[in-house]
Structure 1
Amino acid sequence: MRSAFSLLALACVSSALAGSAWAGEADVIAATAEQDIRGTWTVSATILHADTGWEHYADRFDVLDEKGNVLGSRTLFHPHVDEQPFTRSLNALAIPDDVTTITVRAHDSVDELGGETADIVLER
């Protein structure tokens, strides 16, 4: 009887953990960059993440230069459970003239970094 109870308990714990891990890492599935008349940039990221609610959701995206330096970040203040994928923009981003390619990556509240990224060759 004890081993049956232990197996049931293990199954319940595994199921609960799988539910929170199901959302996985946040992926950038598309990204664009447009320079405005002032010389600053708007970077838009389309992010795919199986947000489960406040306990696991895509909470940020970053724009990096070729060396991995963060040029800017956009905080995502709430889960997007019913809006997948979703697109958000980071406006008025200053990108140095010597940067020719940027990388856009997403972050989530549990797995942090590690999902798919998108590289953009800047057209000036």
Structure 2
Amino acid sequence: MKRTIVTFLLMLISVFTAQAFAAEADIVDAVAYKDRNNTWRFDVTVAHADAGWEHYADRWEVMGPDDTVLATRVIYHPHVTEQPFTRSLENVHIPDDVKVVRVRARDSIHGYGGKEFEIELRR
């Protein structure tokens, strides 16, 4: 009985330790397309060691050169078995004077801080 409890506790500790030490969410690829209606579509690929509802990549953002958030794509559920994963966001308005944007991702524990991706917009 004691061995079973100790084994269970060790497994529980290892799960929480793995969640706590998983790296931040990284952008591994991003592409921007200009739509016919003069807005932009972004296809963004995120990599993160999602561990379930308690720890997962929960959004990505398109940032202007002055760190202004131009668009946010909320990720509504973990992707434990789908890594990396790609999601899109359409109808993004980008000011005409903005030539380069950055895309960054966030996870539910660490926030922002992983690898970002820069895109030169082709107008």
* TM-score class, shorter: 0.7 to 0.9
Q: 1:21 deviation in Å?
A: 1.6
SS of corresponding position for 2:112? coil
Give the TM-score normalised by structure 2.
0.87
Whole-Å separation in 1 of the counterparts to 2:33 and 2:94: 11
Residue 59 in structure 1 maps to residue 58 in structure 2: yes
Whole-Å separation in 2 of the counterparts to 1:122 and 1:34: 8
Whole-Å separation in 2 of the counterparts to 1:44 and 1:22: 28
Whole-Å separation in 1 of the counterparts to 2:51 and 2:87: 19
Which residue in the other structure is 1:123 paired with?
Answer: 122
Give the TM-score normalised by structure 1.
0.87
- Residue-by-residue CA offset, 1:43-102 (whole Å, 9 max, x unaligned): 111000010000100000000001100001000000000100000011100000000000
* Unmatched 5+ stretches in structure 1: 1-7
Q: 1:20 deviation in Å?
A: 1.6
* Unmatched 5+ stretches in structure 2: 1-5
Identity over aligned pairs, percent: 47
Which residue in the other structure is 1:43 paired with?
Answer: 42
Equivalent residue runs for 1:19-38 within 5 Å: 19-38=18-37
Equivalent residue runs for 1:103-122 within 5 Å: 103-122=102-121
Whole-Å separation in 2 of the counterparts to 1:64 and 1:40: 15
Whole-Å separation in 2 of the counterparts to 1:42 and 1:17: 37
